[in-house]
Amino acid sequence: MRVSPTMRAEAGISTGSGKSVRRKTIPLFGAATIFGIIQVIKPARLTLRADGFELSQPPKGAKFTPWSHVETFYIFRLRGNKFVAYTYTSARPQGVISKVGRAMGAQATLPNLFSMKTEELAGLMESRRRQAVGTAPTGIAAQPQIVS
């Protein structure tokens, strides 16, 4: 099958100069570079407090979640990557996205950007949550469950 110049133009295929491809890739890589620089200058930060945890993730800003709004922390695997995931209690209002996420296995996740191992972070957060809501096991660290 022969491809005419008109078909190439409609498909966005360059006919030799590469301008069409450059017009699309330069802004994409430029934006990725800007976000990469922001992550280096001001990386994501997770702060564990007595009343909850705060995730600061530029350019979004900080988001605070009280321990009482979290049902449990666990390890969620997606395409070979591990994330700290958690489900909300009924105390927190749940929208459509939250309900869909829960049905898929992870209602909310933390970015995998921290130096602590995923299992250790999930265990620490589950232990802090249990202490805060008064269900801490005595002498045994909380072990997060793994969901694939």
Predicted pLDDT at 104: 65
For residue 1, pLDDT over 50 is answered with yes
Query: What pTM value is reported for the model?
Result: 0.61
Predicted pLDDT at 102: 61
The per-residue pLDDT for range 8-67, each reduced to its tens digit, is 555 554 555 556 667 777 777 777 777 667 666 666 788 899 999 998 877 778 889 999
- The answer to whether 75 and 60 have CB atoms below 8 angstroms apart is no
In 3D, which of 97, 14, 110, 127 has the Cα closest to residue 65? 110
130 pLDDT tier (thresholds 50, 70, 90): very high
Q: Which residue has the higher pLDDT, 108 or 144?
A: 108
The per-residue pLDDT for range 55-114, each reduced to its tens digit, is 887 777 888 999 999 988 989 888 888 889 988 887 666 666 666 666 666 778 888 777
Q: Tell me the DSSP string of 102-119.
A: HHHT-SEE--S-SSS-HH
Structure tokens at 105: 């296995």
